[in-house]
A and B are shown apart, each in its own frame.
Chain A
């Protein structure tokens, strides 16, 4: 039996509500309305349990987490329990006063997403007028207030040519970190993958550029690079292993081993409103199913890389092969490796909208 260590981090999706409609959103296709969201007290109780379990960092995300009116209470609860808080926001729906309140409550770090490095691209991708200027203002307030700032740039076919401009933007705004995060193809991104996946040549040019600029900006800007695994030979070490040290919680309190785990329709998830977080972490089937290596197919179990990438991503295995217990098809050893790059016919991007079920690709 696999030894179960304490969890380190939680991605808390406080709400699915969002002013943007990005076609690569990592939320599920069936988005929850506000009336399904956990109460303030539910989140506070969950985070107190998390602290007792050993959680050290919480990433407050969504949807757009600043749409929760109780966000400062939630941040204060994290700070009071010694948990490092990270706000992951689109940066279009709060004022300078709101941000100062979050900081007063104990916010440690803010990450603001930019859909493009230019106003045109940001609006083309997120479908919100004036979004770029709002994001620039929000980033400015963060730096003025002395909050460490990360710029998050989700990369795909529509903006991959702007990668150097994202670097210039991050430097101009005074960010400490830039995440050049190639879109991972689950949920909405999988639905829209034919319209979003960049060409092989564009990806390789980006890899060369990022490796070079990251070196040159050492000590000035931290650049984290999430590589696009559709063109890789080996899978990413997804979540550092299933149920190893992280979890995600949905707006209605379901606890997931990975934020995309709901795409694996054969799994059932338990809720913080029904069971303790400790019970779910240690004993739920969803967490134990792919822990360790006993679930692995022979390809992975006998592989010298199994302690490096843990068999890769369960959600990607499910999306491409129909079985979450397969080797991640990003791996050259997977019999489905070629399948990964076979795309459906390109169609217009379907926008992420609550209450409107998208058409399957």
Chain B
């Protein structure tokens, strides 16, 4: 009988968020509308988070199809705010989420 080598997952690297990162919510981190409470909610392993309106604006754009720079542009336009400030805030926010493994990076161009 052939012995199959045990599966070894690749070692996880810490994700550093920058303007070129294409952030994505992993499939198991779900942003959804909670009808009972009339709020947005993020469901994650053993966690329930209640993002505010600005956080929802960021998270709902984390689809792996645009960079931090691009989604910051959209937010700056939507809120009529200076792009430099918005991008810095977005990077700080997403870094915190990446540190809790709630945000990943989409590596393949789509």
Q: A219-B98, A221-B12 are in contact. Are A176 and B48 (CB under 8 A)?
A: no
Counting chain A CB atoms within 10 Å of each CB, the highest count among B11, B27, B46 belongs to: B46
- Contact in complex: B12, A86 (CB < 8 Å): no
Instruction: Tell whether A109 is near chain B: CB-to-CB under 8 Å.
Output: yes
Partner of B100, one of A53, A54, A146, A222: A222
- Contact in complex: B14, A219 (CB < 8 Å): yes
Instruction: Tell whether B109 is near chain A: CB-to-CB under 8 Å.
Output: no
Scan A67-111; emit 1 where CB is below 8 A from any B CB, else 0.
000000000000000101010000000000000000000001101
Partner of B9, one of A108, A150, A174, A221: A174
- What residues of B have a CB within 8 angstroms of the CB of A146 in the complex? 27
Q: How far is the CA of A147 from the CA of B7 in the complex (A)?
A: 14
Q: How far is the CA of A136 from the CA of B7 in the complex (A)?
A: 10
- Tell me which residues from 171 to 225 in chain A have a Cβ below 8 Å from any Cβ of chain B: 171, 173-174, 176-177, 218-222, 224
Scan B6-23; emit 1 where CB is below 8 A from any A CB, else 0.
110111111100000000
Q: Report the interface size class on chain A.
A: 20 to 34
- What residues of A have a CB within 8 angstroms of the CB of B37 in the complex? 6, 54
- Tell me which residues from 12 to 61 in chain B have a Cβ below 8 Å from any Cβ of chain A: 12-15, 26-28, 30, 32, 34, 36-37, 41, 43, 45-46, 48
- What residues of A have a CB within 8 angstroms of the CB of B32 in the complex? 82
- What residues of B have a CB within 8 angstroms of the CB of A108 in the complex? 28, 30, 43, 45
Partner of B34, one of A54, A150, A177: A54
Q: How far is the CA of A143 from the CA of B30 in the complex (A)?
A: 19
- Contact in complex: A224, B99 (CB < 8 Å): no
Instruction: Tell whether B101 is near chain A: CB-to-CB under 8 Å.
Output: yes
Instruction: Tell whether A329 is near chain B: CB-to-CB under 8 Å.
Output: no
- What residues of B have a CB within 8 angstroms of the CB of A176 in the complex? 45, 101
Instruction: Tell whether A15 is near chain B: CB-to-CB under 8 Å.
Output: no
- What residues of B have a CB within 8 angstroms of the CB of A173 in the complex? 9
- What residues of A have a CB within 8 angstroms of the CB of B6 in the complex? 136, 140
- What residues of A have a CB within 8 angstroms of the CB of B98 in the complex? 219
- Contact in complex: A144, B7 (CB < 8 Å): yes
Q: How far is the CA of A346 from the CA of B9 in the complex (A)?
A: 42
Instruction: Tell whether A237 is near chain B: CB-to-CB under 8 Å.
Output: no
Q: A54-B37, A57-B43 are in contact. Are A218 and B48 (CB under 8 A)?
A: no
- Contact in complex: A177, B46 (CB < 8 Å): yes
- Contact in complex: B45, A220 (CB < 8 Å): no
- Contact in complex: B46, A109 (CB < 8 Å): yes
- What residues of B have a CB within 8 angstroms of the CB of A136 in the complex? 6
- What residues of A have a CB within 8 angstroms of the CB of B101 in the complex? 176-177, 219, 222
- Contact in complex: A148, B26 (CB < 8 Å): yes
- Contact in complex: B28, A109 (CB < 8 Å): yes
- Tell me which residues from 136 to 174 in chain A have a Cβ below 8 Å from any Cβ of chain B: 136, 140-141, 143-144, 146-148, 150, 171, 173-174
Q: List 15 A-B contacts (CB under 8 A).
A: A6-B36, A57-B43, A57-B48, A111-B45, A143-B9, A148-B28, A174-B10, A174-B12, A176-B45, A177-B45, A218-B99, A219-B14, A219-B15, A219-B99, A222-B101
Q: Which 5 A-B pairs have the closest CB atoms?
A: A174-B9, A54-B36, A219-B14, A84-B43, A109-B45
